[in-house]
Structure 1
Amino acid sequence: MKSFRADYVFPVYADPIKNGIVTVDDEGKIIAVAESNKPPGGPVQQVSGIITPGFINTHCHTELSHLKDRVKPRGGLVNFIKDVQSLRNTDREEVLDAIAKADQEMYDNGIVAVGDISNTNNSVAMKRQSKLYYHTFVETFGFLPGRATEVFEKAQELLGEFKPGACSLTPHAPYSVSKELFKLIKKYSDGADDNLLSIHNQECEDENKFYRYKLGAFLDLYDHFGKDISYFKPQARNSVQSIIPLLSSKQKVLLVHNTCTNLKDIYFIKRFDKKINWCFCPNANLYIEGRLPKIDLFVNQGFNITLGTDSLASNGKLSILSEIQAIQQKFPSIGLPRLVEWATKNGAEYLGIDDEKGTLDPGKTPGLNLISGLDGFKITPDTTVKKLM
């Protein structure tokens, strides 16, 4: 057994424990979490900082890792999509090497589980040998109604390549999935025992403008890719309000980014019997659009909130600590204990792995992170994360 005493222990299922002690066995299973006046038998290693469970990254694109520093920042979502599509097909060995390095980077940064978006089979081999838990979201793209069945069937074929690992079939985003394709995914989800959904949502104002008025930069995007969308009619409401009725009520749904989601959207969603979760990837939002979601609007609304890194195409690093720091800088009223809960327990609950990860409950193997270089509970430029177990 190993025991660690830290300035604070964040068990997450309970309040932070000052001078807390965590005891684990050689496999990383939590034996006990105790106050310092109840030390376990045997030696205790003193560490400086805060001990937390391992981080859960609920939104990543490992297959885009070779695009690090290759996409111009702050060019807006439409230009980002164009750049990614023009750059993503490159030497396969370069792609595979970057995927492996991204996996190791997340491990080194205290991440223990990942919700990973895939449009190809490039990450299959990495996931089979990784130390991390992966749930793969096989994305569907198809805004032309006539191609819905073809797109859906190809996605099912790709899904089979990720089995028996945890995986599911999901829409990409409102602007890239036709109503007909949404209906096929809903029928599939309603008949499946477990088909988690993860949808890119409202990353820019032009997405809402397109759905409300059929105006804005997305018209140029469809023209750029040679798509005739004359069939599409303005919906007179924001994108998320337009697609929520098309989603399964049986499966958990993760709405990712939410850069331009407003309070009316949140209240609209509450009217429906949907299992909605929210994921924020602030550093990617800053990289692509140069702005952050109004994250404080989502607090205390009764929804599960998680964190993600997005890809190295839109982020300088794959670090959940860095995402926590970005949120704390802009929204200082959101305290570190709550942010750690978003980064651990909530992500594990969404991915359905909370029986093993997410909190420091005895019997779990959640991983142990040590966050050092803090100013009280405030993250500083010197704050780091180290993997203890």
Structure 2
Amino acid sequence: MIKYVSADYIFPINAPPLKNGIVSFDERGEILNLYEKANAEINGPVERLEGVIVPGFINSHCHLELSHMKGKVAPGSGLIPFLTNVITHRSSEEKEILEAMKDADQVMQQNGIVAVGDISNNLLSKNIKKESYIHYHTFVEFLGFEPKNAESIYKKAIALLRDFSPSPASLAPHAPYSVSKDLLKLFQKNSEGRSELTSMHNQESDDENQLFRYKTGKFLDFYKALNINIDFFKPQARNSIQSVIPIFAPQQRILLVHNTYTSLKDIYFANRFNRDIHWCFCPKANIYIEGRLPKIEIFQFHDFNITVGTDSLASNDKLCILSELKMIKQHFPSLAFPDILRWATINGARFLGIDNKYGSIEQGKKPGLNLITNTDGLEITSQSEVRRIV
């Protein structure tokens, strides 16, 4: 059965917005056609909706397995107290963790999210992802700052990666401050020649840069509390991203997440190494943890591959991409919604390698369709809400 839906605007993403356009799709959600109202020859009733129709959202960065931690970490504490709280509270009854993940998955579906790049440290989320309407790519996270443990940590990560098979999955180092250079080099050696996806938390705190530049700051106390001896670590006299980017294999598709304290100099440095870098912003989590947003304005004037994520319910009150876009608009009102919408749709789909199906409203694709209401012409407002159509 063919269904026809019209709205004030349709945002195909690969083409200019269609005012009063019509989109047709079948019962499987496959896009059959797009029509300009004036030229439409429709063989059936058209459901008229108020608002704008957009493709399903791509959540490039999430931690589904931390869903049980909602409300357990106070906002505004800063990254290091946040990490300490996650380490302290992430263990819980398996039933509680599974139920929280199922609920979070359902909420993401309701909020129009069709694909997720999800960080995992264990196998608990596998069956939930397998049974979900959402397409998941799992980033099997590994971490260990002490060089002596690099070999054993990497072997465990490979074993967990195999356990996620045949679902889409790849390895991901946690962050510069939590992965030794030896471990990163082991990862690089085993990634040479393969254009696989990877992800890494980047410059979420200024303490991360202080550690790498001068070996000072709050991370020293953090390691001490964890009984990690970092006598081996020498100050790099440069920010963390400048220390780790050269180690990644050239063929890898790299998602750098958060970038809260990334400078223009860092960006220029990263560009010099000709890596396939995608920059992911999780604005609500940045506000929740550090009370600060990345300098998005220094990214927007370059032809960068920018995506959007929600982070976890440990650092957010909801897993909703529209809420993230509203936060961006609130703090950067000069950014046009059609532009940032690309970050949350086709850019995320391209990073995950699923843009043949998701990310734009095109004939033959099954991208999912969302209706955004309470808009002001082509712009979202603080009152805008999202409803999944298909």
TM-score by length of 1: 0.98
Name the counterpart of 1:264: 265
Residue pairs, 1:36-51, within 5 angstroms: 36-39=37-40, 40-51=42-53
Residue pairs, 1:332-347, within 5 angstroms: 332-347=333-348
- How big is the shift at 1:273? 1.5
- How big is the shift at 1:252? 0.4
- Looking at structure 2, the residues matched to 300 and 123 of structure 1 have their Cα atoms a distance apart, in angstroms, of 38
- How big is the shift at 1:207? 0.5
- How big is the shift at 1:219? 0.5
Instruction: Choose the corresponding residue for 1:177, options 173, 176, 179.
Output: 179
- How big is the shift at 1:374? 1.3
Number of aligned positions between the proteins: 388
- Residue type matched to 1:14 in 2? A
- How big is the shift at 1:378? 3.3
TM-score by length of 2: 0.98
Instruction: Choose the corresponding residue for 2:138, options 132, 136, 139.
Output: 136
Identical counterparts, % of pairs: 54
Residues 260-313 of structure 1: per-residue CA shift (max 9 Å, x gap): 001111111111120000000000000000000011110131210000000000
- Looking at structure 2, the residues matched to 138 and 261 of structure 1 have their Cα atoms a distance apart, in angstroms, of 24
Q: Secondary structure at the match of 1:125?
A: helix
Name the counterpart of 2:65: 63
Q: Secondary structure at the match of 2:61?
A: strand
Name the counterpart of 1:210: 211
- Residue type matched to 1:335 in 2? A
Does the aligned pair in 1 maintain the 2:21–2:34 contact within 8 Å? yes
**Is 1:366 matched up with 2:383?**
no
Name the counterpart of 2:154: 152
**Structure 1 gaps, min length 5:** none
Does the aligned pair in 1 maintain the 2:9–2:378 contact within 8 Å? no
Residue pairs, 1:294-309, within 5 angstroms: 294-309=295-310
- How big is the shift at 1:191? 4.4
- How big is the shift at 1:72? 1.1
- Residue type matched to 1:208 in 2? N
Does the aligned pair in 2 maintain the 1:110–1:385 contact within 8 Å? yes
- Looking at structure 1, the residues matched to 249 and 107 of structure 2 have their Cα atoms a distance apart, in angstroms, of 34
Does the aligned pair in 2 maintain the 1:61–1:118 contact within 8 Å? yes
- How big is the shift at 1:90? 0.8
- Looking at structure 2, the residues matched to 85 and 130 of structure 1 have their Cα atoms a distance apart, in angstroms, of 28
Does the aligned pair in 2 maintain the 1:167–1:195 contact within 8 Å? no
- Looking at structure 2, the residues matched to 25 and 122 of structure 1 have their Cα atoms a distance apart, in angstroms, of 34
Name the counterpart of 1:30: 31
Q: Secondary structure at the match of 1:184?
A: helix
- Looking at structure 1, the residues matched to 359 and 113 of structure 2 have their Cα atoms a distance apart, in angstroms, of 11
Over aligned residues, Cα RMSD in angstroms? 0.9
Instruction: Choose the corresponding residue for 1:76, options 71, 75, 78.
Output: 78
Q: Secondary structure at the match of 1:382?
A: coil
Residues 362-387 of structure 1: per-residue CA shift (max 9 Å, x gap): 00000000000112333333211000
**Is 1:8 matched up with 2:12?**
no
- How big is the shift at 1:195? 2.4
**Structure 2 gaps, min length 5:** none
Name the counterpart of 2:318: 317
Q: Secondary structure at the match of 1:362?
A: coil
- Looking at structure 1, the residues matched to 182 and 196 of structure 2 have their Cα atoms a distance apart, in angstroms, of 18
Name the counterpart of 1:385: 386
